[in-house]
Amino acid sequence: MNIGVLVSGRGSNLAAILKDIERGAISGAEVKIVISNDPSAKALRVAERHGVKALALVQGTSTRQAYGERLSRALVQNGVRPGEGLVLLAGFMKILSRGFVERFAGRILNIHPSILPAFPGVRAQEQAISYGVKVSGCTVHFVVPEVDAGPIVLQRTVPVKDGDDEATLSSRILRQEHIAYPRAVKLFVEGKLKIEGRTVRVGV
CB contact burial 102-130 (16+ within 10 A = b; e otherwise): ebbebbbbbbbbbbbeebeeeebbebbbe
**Which position among 50, 112, 141, 178 bears the catalytic label?**
112
| Cis bond upstream, residue 117 (ω within 30) | yes
* Per-residue DSSP letter, 25: S
Q: CB of 145 within 8 A of CB of 172?
A: no
CB contact burial 161-195 (16+ within 10 A = b; e otherwise): eeebeeeebbebbbebbbebbbbbbbbbbeeebee
| 112 included as an active-site residue | yes
| Residues labelled catalytic | 112
